[in-house]
Structure 1
């Protein structure tokens, strides 16, 4: 399993741009999802915050992917929001993850059991199954590499990663081929917690002077 832990926005872009993705797609999606989950009082059903977080995360991920104009397509097989990139044979799904999401020292899994629509897209060899994915406009896309956005909120941060599954145990993923672990998203700051480099510290400065 390959684990990547980019510390700067440039490093993260180096992993995402070959997949025709940007950090902003996921930054805005998880931010919107987290904000939506906070709109409920204790009187709401216990599942409401997590469900609506997923709804809003998928919605914003859809909007941001379409704004990229990099040929991402949307489909909904068995009501599963699914994104495909034909030129690269990529598939993309968003899902909540468990407490090991976004850390290199643990092996994450999906937070909740997944149904047949999800399981169908991970074959027994751990590759995203090569199949013709029907898109909303009637086109077909062959998908070979499935990536999953996993996210989990804890301690004022949203931990997330973009990872490629290897296998499933029952209804949950239990191993991975590749993991790109994002810096935690700080809910108070509304941004990823990228590390500042010494070069950045030395290159920029300002002085506030009284008029």
Structure 2
């Protein structure tokens, strides 16, 4: 399930953007913020040295995405139990960041983290109520889980395919083995075109690209 409201037309990017923003607003998140998380992670991966160990690009990508999410939200981090969680200030839900499979960010699919579900994440999904949790509306108009419900688990997944970063924020409901088989809610984000740019050297408009540095060369 994605959401009870009418889904946007994937061909209408403006409509999709509006829909996604509406879904994220009660969670104090924005499309731009989540797009930056996926983009920053991919940029970190692309900047990995070709001499690095094989697992380094994926590890660096995931780590940078988690850092980016936490820096932008300012929410509390939680590293207990072998799982990196980031808690909303209400403590009503938390977000876990993962690289997703090739169905991430597409409507009508059931994506799963690229590496499958590890033990801690499997256990958390098994604890998720099988029905859609009730929500209460705060004075500020925010929707928070009812006090009788456990904190909600949200997965932010991202996937780079064919020059595009696909991503989504979704609430898993059920799993079979290491695959998610059902969601309470999915919020696929509009695809983000991406081109890697080496930012190790930053050129400003005032730089004179035709003139080299003034170097005084002395004989040895």
TM-score, reference length from structure 2? 0.69
SS of the residue corresponding to residue 53 of structure 1 reads helix
Give the match for residue 175 of structure 1: 182
Q: Name the CA shift for 1:36/1:189 in 2 (closer, same or farther; >3 Å).
A: closer
The answer (yes or no) to whether the contact 2:102–2:111 under 8 Å persists in 1 is yes
1:122 aligned residue (121, 125, 134): 125
Give the match for residue 60 of structure 1: 68
Instruction: Name structure 2 gaps, 5 residues minimum.
Output: 134-148, 198-220
Matched, 1:150 2:160: no
SS of the residue corresponding to residue 146 of structure 1 reads strand
Residues 131-156 of structure 1 deviation map (CA, whole Å, 9 limit, x = unaligned): xxxxxxxxxxx843211001111100
Specify the structure having the higher radius of gyration (Cα): 2
Matched, 1:31 2:34: no
Task: State the 1:44 CA deviation.
Answer: 2.7
Give the match for residue 2 of structure 2: 2
1:187 aligned residue (190, 194, 211): 194
Task: State the 1:127 CA deviation.
Answer: 7.0
1:74 aligned residue (73, 77, 97): 77
Task: State the 1:186 CA deviation.
Answer: 0.9
Instruction: Name structure 1 gaps, 5 residues minimum.
Output: 67-71, 130-141, 191-211
Residues 109-136 of structure 1 deviation map (CA, whole Å, 9 limit, x = unaligned): 111133232223223544799xxxxxxx
1:44 aligned residue (38, 52, 59): 52
Give the match for residue 202 of structure 1: none
Matched, 1:22 2:30: yes
Which structure dedicates a bigger proportion of its chain to strand? 1
The answer (yes or no) to whether the contact 1:94–1:149 under 8 Å persists in 2 is yes
Give the match for residue 102 of structure 1: 105
The answer (yes or no) to whether the contact 1:122–1:128 under 8 Å persists in 2 is no
